[in-house]
Structure 1
Amino acid sequence: MLRAALTTASAGLLVGLDTGLIAEALGFIGRDFHATPRMQEWIVSVLMVGALLGSLGAGVFSQRFGRRLALGSATLLIAVGALLCATAGIIGQILLGRFLIGMAIGICTFTAPLYISELTSGSMRGTMVSTFSMLQSTGILLGYLAGGIFSGGGHWRLMVGLPVIPAAVLCAGCALLPSSPSWLAARGRFEEARSVLRSLRGDVAVADRELDNIRHELGAGKPVGGFALLRSQPFFRRSVALGIGLQVMQQLTGINVVMYYAPKILEGAHFGTSAAAWATVLVGLINAVVGIVAIFLVSRWGRRPLLAASCITMAAALGCAGLIEGLHLQGMGATLSLMAALLVFVGGFGIGAGPLVWTLCSEIQPIEGRDFGVACSTLANWGMDWAVSNTFLSIVAVLGAGWTFAGFSALNVVFLFFTLLLVPETRNVPLEVIEQHLEAGLPLRRIGR
């Protein structure tokens, strides 16, 4: 079970690697192709358009052909997209390559947390889905490091072509993964599902009991298929709405503004180009280290406390950043204070809003509509990601960095109240129990009890 979940979670490395690499490469691409700030926004955000479409189709593809094939196909798309970017002679080829990478990332962010939640038991589920998020943070750090190393010579083609190597390795690893037992059972292949469960759990009685629960939920007389369930079952509409709300709020924290545009933010704070590149590496390092800490805390402290602490930390950090920028403070003290505020913000995101939103979205959907529900929340994530990343430089140009950071700080306060009012505690609760509580009409914040 652990090996299969870790292999699947490694998809997060690919997702994060591209984020880190494009942040460092963007300035060099803009220089070589004489790209305007608006075109640079599109170079970043076309990935989200691809991810939005990829996540939209991932539910149907994953439901029909299985999680393993969906994940393997995504790794091939990443390799093709990276090669297109690395060999680009015109900016349109970069846009096409990043669009393909975006489609693959949309598939990965849909498939990997869902696949992990179906492979692992309740006690391991939060830890392993958090590992996906941690490896995403590690990928961002590696991208920043590669950018820092290659930035001295302006070798942006090496930066954007780097994902080809891990994509090929993960593609080979996907061939060794088992099929999802829930997916097999949903297609009536119960004996195969039993065999996979026994292999994953290492205990025949536990595996058989889990399969019996899955069969019970599948045979409970509810409509089969996401759209049919959405039309007929209020409980499913509530779980889909919660998943969408979580993903929208995650993007409105402002995290991708910092991760995509960190070098530009720091250059605006009077860091030199090289200093900004290496300061950005520190942002990635904090993100990765906190991601590791989150793995150990998520199964010990639970979802709600960590998510609430995350919101408070992010709101305070961005409030400080907004104050520094809004008052136009100058000098080394102001520059270091802004850097510290961004690091605290990234740490706050990594401890809660980063890993836990993906964990919760994979836990709260019933088995009959799980593909559809997770697809809807993933689609919301990438749609909002595109909206934020495609407009950030333009918003800063109109409002200034101070008011922009203050706005994101206020949105994190909204996220805190959203968490306290609606988010359930699902630590160590089997997926089948969460589904039963949801169907019974319990308030959303109580379906994990």
Structure 2
Amino acid sequence: MANSKSSKLVTFAASIAGLLFGLDIGIISGALPFIVNEWNITIHEQEWVVSTMMLGATIGAISNGWLSAALGRKNSLLVGGIMFGVGTLGCALAPDIFVMYVFRVIQGFSIGIASFAAPLYLSEMSDKSVRGRRIATYQLMVTIGILAAFLSDTAFSVQETYSMLGLDISNWRLMFAVLMLPSILLIFTVMSMPKSPRWLASKGRLVEARKILREIRNGEREADEEYEDIIRSLSVKQSGFALFKANPNFRRSVFLGMVLQFMQQFTGMNILMYYAPKIFEIAGFSSPTEQMFSTAFIGLAFVLATFIAIAMADSWGRKPALKIGFTVMGLGMFGLGLLLKYVLEGDAPAYFSYLAVLVSMVCIVGYAMSAAPMVWVLCSEIQPLKGRDFGIACSTTTNWASNMVLGATFLSLLNGIGTAQTFWMYAAFNFMFIVVTLMFVPETKGVTLEKIESNLMSGNKLRDIGA
């Protein structure tokens, strides 16, 4: 963007939404062992503590198709920030597991809104030359949130922390309570953000749309050319579900978005986030502190590798990153399953425990440089303007529904088909996703949203709509 101040504000505000997303993913990983100790909950109740957030996020993503269209991307993020604060406070004060479920759903609802609205807002506000990096920066903040949560969890898992702070409180309650701070930051930051010019134009507020474009682009000529492209996109008669029913080309982009989000989740990487301490317990780390320090290394690898993704998004492109990432994750999940198999059989030397941490980090690096940011980038790019809210609502809902399935089944799979077999299953998914990427995923780097839409609506093959 030409206007440096506007550029930084837009990126910062949307990235705070990513920070909340990451903090919530990371916090439950460290909090869960302490919740289990305090309430003595079953395996299935543990799965529901994790997955009720995804249930709420699924509902939030569905609802935000309407919310984002009616209120705009900016106000959607504001609603998400307020609800996250309510859900977080409720979790920190929950007297029992059932109250925890309710506020985890509220927390999840807000994350569903943020995960929908933030990448969409960034894609609509960013110039084509930096669009991939802007959305990858959002993903960077997700990873920083996860790392911050892991570090916070580690600190609060050490009893000395409470003596130093003069506190006598259950560890996991403080883990949740610290999330109030970024929630408040998001609310105040969003208030100063400009509205999306594409959303304004879709509501007939054309003067405002042109004004904002001129503020965020390289001069009036570039802004006016983009404005004319937006007006042409709005000439499509149908919108939303009506367009989905009437136009087979739009249906293709909707289904591609849903497949991309399914692929992102069934890489299995989020189980490394939600259940990292459990996985490292299986690997041979017996104390909660050892498990939490190992988990923090996972978060650190996630952050560092996301910097690679930011560099790749607008240089290498989306498709090469996905192919490399799925290969790395497939090999990594196979190797992790093999290591855990030997550890559980009692035939493994002590250093296999550390190898398990290292291989988990390799898996996360593969994810961070590929599916984690690139799927959100692609899903925000491939939908036509008149169907963008509906299309991204469908793909984001798929993301959270798939995420919920992962969270609600992982421990049961370990007990059912076995530890090694569970990780090998996810390895097989990753190898399948390489084929899907080659056959259907387009390369969209450096292409305007309106050009992608034109290629899609002209009936080009999905893998060619970025040409």
Q: CA deviation at 1:218?
A: 0.7
Corresponding position: 1:446 with 2:458: no
**Cα distance in 2 for residues equivalent to 1:289 and 1:16:** 15
Q: Aligned residue for 1:358?
A: 376
Alignment match, 1:15:
21
The answer as to 2:267 corresponding to 1:249 is no
Equivalent residue number for residue 162 of structure 1: 178
Kindly indicate whether the alpha-carbon contact (under 8 Å) linking 2:336 and 2:356 is maintained by their aligned counterparts in 1.
Answer: yes
1:15-414 to 2 correspondence within 5 Å?
Answer: 15-153=21-159, 155-219=171-235, 222-271=236-285, 272-327=287-342, 328=345, 329-414=347-432
User: Any conservation in 2 of the 1:365–1:435 contact (CA below 8 Å)?
Assistant: yes
- Displacement of 1:6: 2.5
TM-score, with normalisation over the residues of structure 1? 0.98
Unaligned runs of at least 5 residues, structure 2: 1-5, 160-169
SS at match of 1:64: helix
Q: After alignment, is 159-168 or 356-365 more displaced?
A: 159-168
Deviations 1:407-447 (A, max 9, x none): 00000001111111110000010000000000111100010
Give 1:309's aligned amino acid. I
For 1:409, the aligned partner's letter is: A
Deviation of 1:323 after TM superposition, in Å, equals 1.5
- Show CA shifts across 1:15-60 (max 9, x none): 0001111100101011111111110100000000000000000010
Q: 2:7 aligns with which of 2, 6, 10?
A: 2
- Amino acid paired to 1:263: P
**In structure 2, C-alpha distance between the alignment counterparts of 1:224 and 1:237, rounded to whole Å:** 13
Structure 2: how far apart are the matches of 1:405 and 1:411? 10
- Check whether the contact 1:5–1:120 (CA below 8 A) recurs between aligned residues: no
Separation (CA, whole Å) in 2 of partners of 1:435 and 1:50: 31
Note the C-alpha offset of 1:224.
2.7
**Residue-by-residue CA offset, 1:366-385 (whole Å, 9 max, x unaligned):** 00000000000000000010
Asked if the contact 2:16–2:182 (Cα under 8 Å) also holds between the matched residues in 1, the reply is no
TM-score, normalising length: structure 2: 0.94
Contact 1:88 1:94 in 2 (8 A): yes
Q: State the match for 2:167 in structure 1.
A: none
Cα deviation for residue 202 of structure 1 reads: 4.1
User: Residue 201 of structure 1: CA displacement?
Assistant: 0.9
Aligned-partner SS, 2:275:
helix
Question: In terms of mean alpha carbon deviation, does 428-437 or 266-275 score higher?
Answer: 266-275
Is 1:417 aligned to residue 423 of structure 2?
no
| Structure 1 residue 331, shift from structure 2 partner | 2.3
Retained in 1: the 8 A contact 2:157–2:288?
A: no
Please give the alpha-carbon distance, in whole angstroms, between the structure 2 residues aligned to 1:414 and 1:326. 23
Measured in 2, the distance between the counterparts of 1:347 and 1:313 equals: 8
Secondary structure at 1:122 match in 2: coil
Structure 1 counterpart of 2:162: none
C-alpha distance in 1 between matches for 2:248 and 2:100: 44
Q: Which runs of 5+ in 1 are unaligned?
A: none
Distance 1:192 1:30 in 2: 53
* 8 Å Cα contact 1:21/1:140 also seen in 2: yes
| Matched residue type, 1:294 | A
* 1:190-212 Cα shifts (integer Å, max 9, x gaps): 11000010111141111011000
Whole-Å Cα distance in 1 between the matches of residues 204 and 24 of structure 2? 38
Match of 2:3? none
Aligned residues: 447
Q: Structure 1 CA distance, aligned partners of 2:20 and 2:111?
A: 8
Secondary structure of the corresponding residue to residue 426 of structure 2: helix
CA RMSD of aligned residues (A): 0.9
Check whether the contact 2:121–2:196 (CA below 8 A) recurs between aligned residues.
yes
Answer whether contact 1:9 1:116 (CA < 8 A) is retained: no
CA distance in 2, matches of 1:442, 1:197: 29
